[in-house]
């Protein structure tokens, strides 16, 4: 019997045909017929007249060329909301610029960023343990202890920055080529983990490699899972979670002895009723996490698996976007005028001289040109192209200032890329001006608060690179100091130039814009060290 005949015989059996018809019907319903939670009166960004399936076709067009979609949105939807379909992202309602302030002021029980992020990254499947995301107690340590301790941690970060650059960029005084992204993400891994777990564990190459693999795998897995049709999502999601959780287990193997040793030391010190931490107790995120866990009284939080999982999640949050930021600014600087580098070196040298030649938090705060360079690079190359992504969680939905009611379960966002490249907001917006914000901060005709708001870590309606409002990136104060320190060290200790003569173009992956991962620069160690 031929294969075709066997297939025909199978299809003659009701027990076979019925389930097949049901599955196909369910898939067609989910893809084409299921009612949308999005407002029906809104136009679809990227749809064209005559489209049979406007949402699906717009989703394909927008994903293929999101920059073009943003231009369409800016031209046709500047003052009204529209539906923004994209692969790898739940269908969004893009609100007009005038609603930015409205969105950032909404409470968590109306518009929720945490729920939106869990959906976008599919954290129930991509995290080591979903409970770590559902109960993110580490966020409090980021906003309080990490921010407050950044000044005390600068000496450790300086030491690790020097170690990282000498290891990965070397000390050769002749020009050589280096891959910017690959080397700098490893320097960031070293410096960040010096703060997270301390030395020598931060230099464990196998553990660092696993943390970087995880940082790259999570967004890719989240994008893939969100794109799946509902009928197969459950099965594929569980299969996808297996390699990620195996990776987390391998990471845990390296950090487990350190956690166990610290837990034992913590318990021993408390049994002796010491009123303050014992001499030699670490000042890093792992130690703060242990203290927080013990003070909570909940054994779950001081399980080795829980503590290891939180450190791994922090590596994802820190390494992922910081690697993009430092790569962007190095490419920008390498492709710019030498006079900019000279001005930076003069500022850094002058400020360090005022602080006894030592890098510290106060010195970093005074390096306004360095800060401006980082902010301008973030403006030109922001990873955030649509901002303030939130899930509507209020049962009755939400009505925007323009009168549109968006139901519960829908997701909203606001323009970010368009604002960052708007000539009326940033004159000569398409030109890289590294000291744009430093000049504005020195303008005495502007009140002090407005001038201070031009610092890199400061969020506003016109600068959403770190988010805005109560949900702005909690670790941005630490991250900006870390990256400014790294860039300052690089400027004072290396000469850099673009090999090709022009800055490599950025790449777009759906709504995210990232630097070229393969871009190289020519570098050499300066003879006169900082």
Three-state DSSP state, 277: coil
Where do the H-state alpha helices sit in 169-204? 180-196
- β-pairing, 111-112 with 405-406? unpaired
* Half-sphere CA count of 450, side-chain side, radius 13 A: 8
* Distance, first Cα to last Cα, the chain: 82
* Full DSSP string of 59-115: HHHHHHTHHHHHHHHHHHSTTS-EEEEETTEEEEEE--GGGHHHHHHS-TTTEEHHH
Sign of the CA dihedral 458, 496, 157, 349?
negative
Contacts of 298 (CB under 8 A, 6+ apart): none
Residue 270 zone, left/alpha/beta (φ > 0; ψ -120 to 50; rest): alpha
Q: Are β-strands 507-509 and 176-179 bridged in parallel, bridged antiparallel, or unpaired?
A: unpaired
Beta-carbon count within 10 A of 103 CB:
23
DSSP of 296-365, one letter per residue?
HT-GGGGSHHHHHHHHHHHHHHHHHHHHHHHHHHHHHHHTS-HHHHHHHHHHHHHHHHHTTT---HHHHH
Is 473 within any annotated ligand binding site?
A: yes
What does the alpha-carbon distance between residue 510 and residue 528 come to, in Å, rounded to a whole number?
Answer: 44
C-alpha to C-alpha distance for 431 and 412, rounded to whole angstroms? 30
Find, among 363, 360, 457, the residue nearest to 152 by Cα. Answer: 360
Cβ neighbours of residue 147 closer than 8 Å, sequence gap 6 or more: 475, 477, 478
Output the six-digit token pair for 350: 């002058």
Give the Cα separation of 325 and 195 in Å (integer). Answer: 19
CA-closest candidate to residue 411, choices 389, 426, 379: 389
Q: Which of 471, 433, 477 is nearest to 456 (CA)?
A: 477
Q: Check if the beta carbon of residue 142 is closer than 8 Å to that of residue 289.
A: no
Do you know the residue count of the chain?
A: 530
Instruction: Give yes or no for a contact between 323 and 479, defined as CB atoms under 8 angstroms apart.
Output: no
What are the Cα distances from residue 162, in Å, to 61, 209, 257? 45, 20, 27
Evaluate the CA torsion angle 353, 358, 362, 367 in order and state its sign: positive
Annotated binding site for heme: 473
Give the residue ranges of the annotated binding site: 473
């Amino acid at each position: 019997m031929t294969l075709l005949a066997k297939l025909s015989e199978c299809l003659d059996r009701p027990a076979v045909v019925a389930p097949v018809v049901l599955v196909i019907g369910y898939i067609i319903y989910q893809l084409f017929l299921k009612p949308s939670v999005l407002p029906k009166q809104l136009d679809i960004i990227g749809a064209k007249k005559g489209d049979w399936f406007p949402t699906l076709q717009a989703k394909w067009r927008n994903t293929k060329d999101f920059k073009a979609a943003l231009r369409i949105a800016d031209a046709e939807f500047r003052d009204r909301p529209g539906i923004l379909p994209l692969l790898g992202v739940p269908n969004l309602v893009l609100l007009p610029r005038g609603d930015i302030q409205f969105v950032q002021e909404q409470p968590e029980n109306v518009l929720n960023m945490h729920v939106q992020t869990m959906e976008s990254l599919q954290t129930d499947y991509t995290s080591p343990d979903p409970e770590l995301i559902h109960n993110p107690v580490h966020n409090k340590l980021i906003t309080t202890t990490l921010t407050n301790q950044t000044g005390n941690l600068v000496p450790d970060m300086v030491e690790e920055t020097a170690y990282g650059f000498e290891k990965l960029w070397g000390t050769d005084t002749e020009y050589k080529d280096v891959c910017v992204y690959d080397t700098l993400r490893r320097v960031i891994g070293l410096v960040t983990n010096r703060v997270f777990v301390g030395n020598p564990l931060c230099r464990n190459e196998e553990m660092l490699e696993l943390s970087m693999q995880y940082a790259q795998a999570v967004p890719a897995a989240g994008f893939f899972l969100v794109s799946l049709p509902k009928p197969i999502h459950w099965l594929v999601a569980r299969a996808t979670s297996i390699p990620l959780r195996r990776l987390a287990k391998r990471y845990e193997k390296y950090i487990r002895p350190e956690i166990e040793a610290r837990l034992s030391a913590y318990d021993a010190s408390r049994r002796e009723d010491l009123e303050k931490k014992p001499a030699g107790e670490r000042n890093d995120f792992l130690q703060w996490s242990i203290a927080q866990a013990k003070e909570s009284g909940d054994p779950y939080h001081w399980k080795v698996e829980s503590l290891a999982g939180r450190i791994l999640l922090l590596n994802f949050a820190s390494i992922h976007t910081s690697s993009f930021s430092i790569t962007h600014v190095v490419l920008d600087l390498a492709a710019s005028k030498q006079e900019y580098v000279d001005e930076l070196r003069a500022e850094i040298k002058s400020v360090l001289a005022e602080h006894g030649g030592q890098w510290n938090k106060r010195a970093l705060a005074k390096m306004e040109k360095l800060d401006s360079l980082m902010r301008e690079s973030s403006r030109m190359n922001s990873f955030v192209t649509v901002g303030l992504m939130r899930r509507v969680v209020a049962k009755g939905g939400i009505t925007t200032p323009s009168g549109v009611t968006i139901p519960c379960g829908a997701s909203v966002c606001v323009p970010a890329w368009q604002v960052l490249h708007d000539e009326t907001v940033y004159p000569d917006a398409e030109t890289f001006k590294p000291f744009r914000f430093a000049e504005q901060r020195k303008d005495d005709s502007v009140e002090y608060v407005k001038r201070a708001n031009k610092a890199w870590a400061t969020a506003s309606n016109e600068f959403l690179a770190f988010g805005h409002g109560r949900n702005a990136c909690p670790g941005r104060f630490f991250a900006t100091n870390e990256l400014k320190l790294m860039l300052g060290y690089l400027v004072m200790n290396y000469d850099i130039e673009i090999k090709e003569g022009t800055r490599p173009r950025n790449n777009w992956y759906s709504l995210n814009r990232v630097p070229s991962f393969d871009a190289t620069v020519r570098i050499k160690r300066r003879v006169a060290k900082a």
